[in-house]
Amino acid sequence: MRPFQYLRPKTVAEAVTMAGDNPEAQYIAGGTNLIDLMKRGVTSPAKLIDINHLPLRKIEHRNDRVRIGALALNSDVAEHRLIQTRQPLLAQALLAGASGQLRNMATVGGNLLQRTRCSYFYDLALPCNKRKPGSGCGAEEGINRTHAIFFAGNGFGGIEKSSCLAVHPSDMCVALTALETTVVVNGPDGERRVMMKDFHRLTTQQPELDTNLRPGELITAIEVEDNAFARHSHYLKVRDRASYAFALVSVAAALQIDGGKIWDARMALGGVAHKPWRYWAVDLMLRGQAPSEKLFREVAEHEMKSAKATEQNAFKIRLTSNAIVAALKLAAGIS
Amino acid sequence: MVMAIDNEASPDAENENRRFFLKQSIAIAGLSIAPSGLLHSAPDDGPVGNAVKVTISLMINSKRRRLSVDPRMTLLDLLRENLGLTGTKKGCDLGQCGACTVHVDGRRTLSCLSFAVMQHGRKITTVEGLSNGDQLHPLQEAFVKHDGFQCGYCTPGQLMSGVACIREGHAGSAESVREYMSGNLCRCGAYPNIVDAILEVKKAGTKV
């Protein structure tokens, strides 16, 4: 591992100043992904800014929203009463991810920035457009069983060829996408707010960029607006073993049901695209209808029309469709 | 100025003058906009050093340690290589197997996925700190009783996770124990016995 300078700021302003526009500076919080990447040589910061001592751990409800500090630990967020009562979908997604040890280390801000688990990205001997732009995509003709089935351009007049088939790995981000979370960031130009749908990127040209964060920007908090989904939401994760594995496919489903009818619906999918995949049509298709398996099947198959499989992951199209139906049934309580 | 200080750094950070110099260099390099009082603050206010050696202070198994470490050194390597606490095991070294699990400020973490410098000022408990002298921890006793071993390599991590699992309140059922022990990957046949041991200690209500 390349030597680095270790810095420990006490304020957000100090941290942002330390990072400046130095591309060789990186913030570190839990380190559960960054240290892994440094050990493998995928990333080699010259300056490591340890932000763990910044006052960004608070979880609170104010102004009709839950605000979670970027340094709140995944385990603390998942177990917090506010989250379990107001946003249980988020708690479920967090508990579906990683392990007890990792959730004790990983932070909300870091979770938003975790990088793909595509094996070509981690193996320096193999081509990867995300790690080394222009080197090619090993997964395209290689092992792509776990890779993407939705790409930029899907559903908007055709399927653009993607330079990267990797999927975004986070469970938390799938729930946050369904819940239309706001990400609060601070940088050289001060504070700004980014909607979750605009935070991560799809890829055609620049797969090395996972997010739309600007150089030096630091995530300080996330905010989830109050909603009426707590009684009818479900995070369904499908993986190769019962626990502690990344999702093959995951579904965050949130419904508002009153008087036997669905009045509002949100859905996001994980493990299927370069970013958490928001299923935009689900609200229009479900609104005003009575929940039923037949309806949910129609909704699922509608979305899967724009999916595109690679050689080894055709099974994911049927799997995702079934997972959408199962998650909606569990959310609606009709299983 | 910052670069000049960095370039002058060398591994011979052991003598007192050198330490003083390094302490100042981090204050200048790292805390350039901090109040000047920090330059003369007590040694435990923060890790002190540069890209070559940093001085930190840790409480390990109830013993205070002041250590000089390379910032790249993980907590796992510090425990095993510098302090001879080889109970904590290096399995995958990439955060996937749980063999290196220790408690940091009472919470289970993976010592291979954290740099030692990040732990400055914290309390670390390793498997060596679990027993009280010759008296084994109740979960260690239960592991012996239920034969929660096979090759034993994963055992220290399993013990640290098992104690945490009980303390966290997740040892209420075999299903919950399995879920909350899933970060300790072991391919041997000890799982049912480990689950039995954890459930027994939880049921006995012994303070862990």
pLDDT digits (tens, 9 = 90+) for B12-64: 333 434 444 444 444 444 443 444 334 444 445 678 777 789 999 999 999 99
Cβ of A292 under 8 Å from any chain B Cβ? no
Same domain, B177 and B118: no
Same domain, B114 and B173: no
Mean pLDDT for back-to-back runs of 10 residues, chain A (335 residues): 95 96 95 98 97 98 97 98 98 97 98 98 97 94 96 59 91 98 96 98 90 97 98 98 94 98 98 97 97 98 94 97 98 91
Q: Where are the beta strands (DSSP E) in B47-131?
A: 48-49, 54-60, 63-69, 101-104, 107-110, 123-125
Residue B37 belongs to a domain: no
Chain B CB contacts of A40 under 8 Å are 94
| Residue B198, Cβ density class (10 Å: 0-12 exposed, 13-18 middle, ≥19 buried) | buried
Of B129, B151, B178, at which residue does a domain stop? B129
Instruction: Check CB contact under 8 Å for B179 and A243.
Output: yes
Same domain, B75 and B112: yes
Residue B160 belongs to a domain: yes
CATH number of residue B137's parent domain: 1.10.150.120
Cβ of A14 under 8 Å from any chain B Cβ? yes
Of B103, B129, B155, at which residue does a domain stop? B129
Report the residue from A7, A18, A105 with minimal CB separation from B110: A105
Q: How far apart are CA A65 and CA A70, in angstroms?
A: 15
Min Cα distance B144 → chain A (Å) is 24
Match 């990072």 to its residue by tokens: A19
Match 């690679």 to its residue by tokens: A310
Amino acid found at B105: D
Look over chain B and give the mean of its residue pLDDT values, rounded to a whole number: 83
Domain range for B203: 132-207
Same domain, B199 and B157: yes
Amino acid found at A89: L
Chain B CB contacts of A10 under 8 Å are 31, 34
Which stretches within B9-133 are classed as H helix?
16-30, 75-77
DSSP class of residue B145 equals H
Cβ of B114 under 8 Å from any chain A Cβ? yes
Residue B40 belongs to a domain: no
Residue B91 has pLDDT above 80, yes or no: yes
Cα maximum dimension of chain A:
62
Instruction: Check CB contact under 8 Å for A4 and B51.
Output: yes
Could you count the other beta carbons within 10 Å of the beta carbon of residue A282?
A: 25
Residue B82 belongs to a domain: yes
Question: Strand B101-104 and strand B107-110: pairing?
Answer: antiparallel
Same domain, B136 and B201: yes
Cβ of B65 under 8 Å from any chain A Cβ? no
CA nearest to A44 within chain B = B72
Instruction: Check CB contact under 8 Å for B161 and A100.
Output: yes
Residue B155 belongs to a domain: yes
Q: pTM of the prediction?
A: 0.90
Average pLDDT over residues B56-81: 97
- In this prediction, residue B32 carries a pLDDT of 38
Residue B186 belongs to a domain: yes
Q: How far apart are CA B177 and CA B169, in angstroms?
A: 10
Of B129, B161, B189, at which residue does a domain stop? B129
Contact A172, A94 (CB under 8 A): yes
Same domain, B98 and B142: no
Share above pLDDT 90 across residues of chain A, in percent, rounded to a whole number: 94
Cβ of B33 under 8 Å from any chain A Cβ? yes
Average pLDDT over residues B70-79: 97
Cβ of B161 under 8 Å from any chain A Cβ? yes
Cβ of B40 under 8 Å from any chain A Cβ? no
- In this prediction, residue B10 carries a pLDDT of 34
Cβ of B42 under 8 Å from any chain A Cβ? no
Q: Give every strand in the sheet of A249-258, ordered side by side.
A: A233-238, A249-258, A261-270, A277-278
Contact A70, A217 (CB under 8 A): no
Question: Strand A182-187 and strand A65-69: pairing?
Answer: unpaired
- In this prediction, residue A152 carries a pLDDT of 84
Helix (H, G, I), strand (E, B), or coil: what is residue A265?
A: strand
Match 């229009």 to its residue by tokens: A284
Chain A CB contacts of B6 under 8 Å are 5
Residue B76 belongs to a domain: yes
Residue of A188, A38, A54 whose CA lies nearest to A109: A54
Q: How far is CA B2 from CA A292, B6, B50, in A?
A: 66, 6, 10
Same domain, B123 and B153: no
| Residue A21, Cβ density class (10 Å: 0-12 exposed, 13-18 middle, ≥19 buried) | exposed
Same domain, B122 and B152: no
Q: Give the model's confidence band at B149: pLDDT under 50 very low, under 70 low, under 90 confident, else very high.
A: confident
Instruction: Check CB contact under 8 Å for B118 and A52.
Output: yes
Q: Residues with Cβ < 8 Å from B30, sequence gap 6 or more?
A: A5, A6, A7, A8, A9, A18
Cβ of B179 under 8 Å from any chain A Cβ? yes
- In this prediction, residue B48 carries a pLDDT of 77
Cβ of B74 under 8 Å from any chain A Cβ? yes
Same domain, B64 and B123: yes
Residue B6 belongs to a domain: no
Residues 2-21 of B with CB under 8 A from A: 6
Phi, psi (deg, nearest 5) at residue A207: -65, -15
Same domain, B102 and B120: yes
Q: How many domains does chain B have?
A: 2
Report the residue from B108, B114, B185 with minimal CB separation from A100: B108
Instruction: Check CB contact under 8 Å for A32 and B93.
Output: no
Can you say how many angstroms the Cα of residue A241 is from the centroid of all Cα atoms in its chain?
20
CATH number of residue B66's parent domain: 3.10.20.30
Same domain, B153 and B191: yes
| Complex prediction ipTM | 0.95
- In this prediction, residue B49 carries a pLDDT of 76
Same domain, B66 and B94: yes
- In this prediction, residue B189 carries a pLDDT of 64
Report the residue from A6, A100, A102 with minimal CB separation from B54: A6
Report the residue from A6, A36, A75 with minimal CB separation from B117: A6
Which value, to the nearest 10 degrees, does the dihedral of the CA atoms of residues B56, A32, A180, A63 take? -20
- Which token pair is B9? 């750094």
